């Protein structure tokens, strides 16, 4: 157990819908990273938040957005869902801002878009 929690574990929805994925970092960690893992793209970095502020952006679609709340949990919002959005979504947390710190990953949310 890494100490990072993600809910829900599984999500099945239809195209065009909107979903919210939730991540709670390890106690004391201020930084949250979001990743998408799909069979054809591998593990892709989406976005990073540190202490409530967006700090780095990767291959995140405009239909996707994220935020980090004062209690440091983070949510990833996916809208106008397409079949290709089906993937595993991971979050990871670290204590500091630097990417050189070990990242502690959550168990992931498996999203299936039908």
Partner 1 sequence: AQSVSQHNHHVILSEAASLELGCNYSYGGTVNLFWYVQYPGQHLQLLLKYFSGDPLVKGIKGFEAEFIKSKFSFNLRKPSVQWSDTAEYFCAVPTGANNLFFGTGTRLTVIP
> What H or E segment, with its residue span, contains residue 105?
strand 104-105
Interface stretch with partner 1, choices 19-27, 37-45, 61-69, 70-78 (CB under 8 A): 37-45
Among 54, 97, 100, residue whose Cα is nearest residue 74: 54
* Of positions 13, 22, 56, 75, contacts partner 1 by CB under 8 A: 56
Cβ proximity to partner 1: between 16 and 96 the closer is 96
98 binds partner 1 (CB under 8 A): yes
Among 27, 21, 22, residue whose Cα is nearest residue 1: 27
42 binds partner 1 (CB under 8 A): yes
Overall residue count recorded for the chain in this entry: 114
Sign of the four-CA dihedral 104, 79, 88, 100: negative
Q: Which residues of the chain form contacts with partner 1 (CB under 8 A)?
A: 2, 4, 33, 35, 42-45, 48, 55-58, 90, 92, 97-100, 102-108
């Amino acid at each position: 157990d890494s100490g990072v929690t993600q809910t829900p574990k599984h999500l099945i929805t239809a195209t065009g819908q909107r979903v919210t994925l939730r991540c709670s970092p390890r106690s004391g960690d201020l930084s949250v990273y979001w990743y998408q893992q799909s069979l054809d793209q591998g593990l892709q970095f989406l976005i990073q938040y540190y202490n409530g502020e967006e700090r780095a952006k990767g291959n995140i679609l405009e239909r996707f957005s994220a935020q980090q709340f004062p209690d440091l949990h983070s949510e990833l919002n996916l809208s106008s869902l397409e079949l290709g959005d089906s993937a595993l979504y991971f979050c990871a947390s670290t204590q500091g801002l630097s990417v050189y710190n070990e990242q502690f990953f959550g168990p992931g949310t498996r999203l299936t878009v039908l």
